[in-house]
Amino acid sequence: MSKLRKQLEAQLTPQKIQAAHLLVLNDWADILGDDSIQKRTMQEIADAVGCSRSTLTGWRTEEDFTAYTNYLAERQLDAMRSKMYTQLVRAAMGGSNGIPSVRALDLYFRHYALLTDRHEVVTNERELAGKRKTDEEIQREIAELDRMVNGE
């Protein structure tokens, strides 16, 4: 068990820890494709942990509880990384239609820093030098602005 997980769990009751696990598993139920995991209502989750639905809803607004559920969701996402890489490569290679996905190729190359956005700013020093104003011109413009502001 990681140090962070221990720290987060130390802030929660066993009942809240169980509720967090059930909520995260419930959020992932449709995606995981595991027929043994049934999507539950908030009331069913509350009943499973022995609290009311309103208590469970209240917990979801607590900072420590939210931090722990976010931690669990991140671990679930980490576990999916291999599948995501497989899907990315499959899409880049042509997927089900045989046509490589440009977006998948872009993501692949950006992931390995083989493709980056590049912005180039080009200035022409000769052009800029010809447009520079003398101190006298600047003083005249300031005086003109002063007259405009002061209503003269």
Taking 70 as the threshold, does the pLDDT of residue 126 lie above it?
Answer: no
Most confident of 62-66, 122-126, 128-132: 62-66
pLDDT reported for residue 127: 66
Q: pTM of the prediction? A: 0.62
Provide the domain count of the chain.
Answer: 1
- Rounded Cα distance, 137 and 131, in Å: 12
H-assigned helices in the chain: 3-10, 14-32, 42-49, 53-59, 63-79, 81-93, 102-111, 125-131, 135-150
pLDDT reported for residue 6: 94
The CATH number of residue 16's host domain is 1.10.10
Asked if the structure places residue 60 within a domain, the reply is yes
Asked if the structure places residue 114 within a domain, the reply is no
Range of weakest confidence among 9-13, 36-40, 59-63, 83-87: 36-40
